[in-house]
Amino acid sequence: MVNYVKTRDVYEVIVGNNIYSYSGKKYGKYVKNIAYLSESLNKRVNNYYEIDNGVVSMYIYSSVLGYFTVIYDIDLLNEVMGYAWYIRKNANNYYCEARNSNENSRIKLHNLVLPHQDGFVVDHIDRNGLNNNKSNLRVVSTSDNGRNSRKYSSNKSGYKGVYFLKSGLIEARWSDINRKHVCIRYNPDDIGYDKALCSAIIARYEGSKNNGYLHTSDESLIYNSAKLSMVI
């Protein structure tokens, strides 16, 4: 049985002699869904989720950060749902974390999905920290993980690894396989703004690709457009 207590914005789920409470303050618009999920499973549920084609979509609300959808493979459902997950913002990405009460520490969902040895980290291939399907995860070194990070919000060029310098130059940056930084600069005053920007995009894409970087479909599309612009 599910009862809604309007004065407290709380759904109470009665299962046998137990009463499980879910508040709108904690679960936001998902509060009703998680209450009825709890009733259907006859137990307390830490997070609301749905299953489709072998993939679990877990819906998490943060009063500070907003609403998020986290996905992972269905074979880990029982293990994952043993924790109360929340969202943490780290640099320029979001990740799913939970308290590990047994060890008095935090655990990230991607580490639960893909355990690994010390000295290595889990990389999200598509750079989406909330996509925790096994097919989207790989164990890499910290340097390789950094190579596959998202574009920082401070980047004004719209393309990862391409920067507008205060001098007016446009710079392409990446690191080679020996972790040596490579920079190539183009002067819009000499070759024009459009050509300088396209040259930087092309140099960054090709230089990083030759040194083991991954690229998103959007980055490849921009690269191809830059190549086309240089021909026209």
pLDDT of 146 reads: 87
pLDDT of 179 reads: 86
The C-alpha atoms of residue 197 and residue 203 are separated, in whole angstroms, by 10
Q: What DSSP line would sit under the chain, residue for residue?
A: -EEEEGGGTEEEEEETTEEEEEEHHHHGGGHHHHHHHHHHHTS--SSEEEEETTEEEEEEEETTTEEEEEEEEGGGHHHHTTS-EEEEEETTEEEEEEEETTTTEEEEHHHHHS---TT-EEEETTS-TTB--GGGEEEE-HHHHHHTPPPPTT--SSSTTEEE-TTS-EEEEEE-TT--EEEEEE-HHHH-HHHHHHHHHHHHHHHHHTTT----HHHHHHHHHHHHHHH-
80 bridge partner residues: none
Contact yes or no for 49/15 (Cβ under 8 A):
no
pLDDT of 232 reads: 65
**CB atoms closer than 10 angstroms to residue 24:** 16
Q: Give phi and psi for 153, each to the nearest 5.
A: -65, -25
The C-alpha atoms of residue 80 and residue 78 are separated, in whole angstroms, by 6
Structure tokens, 230: 């240089």
Claim: this prediction has a pTM higher than 0.85:
no
Q: Quick: pLDDT tens for 129-152.
A: 999 999 999 999 998 998 898 888
Domain boundaries, the chain: 2-145, 153-231
The C-alpha atoms of residue 118 and residue 169 are separated, in whole angstroms, by 41
pLDDT of 132 reads: 98
Question: Per-10-residue mean pLDDT for the chain, 232 residues long?
Answer: 92 94 94 96 94 96 95 96 94 91 86 94 96 97 89 87 96 92 97 96 96 92 93 70
- pLDDT > 70 fraction of the chain, expressed in percent and rounded: 99
Structure tokens, 219: 């980055």
**Torsion angle, CA of 67/73/75/78, rounded to 10 degrees?**
-10
Tell me what the pLDDT averaged over the chain comes to. 94
Q: What DSSP line would sit under 15-49, residue for residue?
A: ETTEEEEEEHHHHGGGHHHHHHHHHHHTS--SSEE
Contact yes or no for 154/201 (Cβ under 8 A):
no
pLDDT of 140 reads: 95
Tell me which residue of 149, 194, 167 sits closest to 183, measured CA to CA: 167
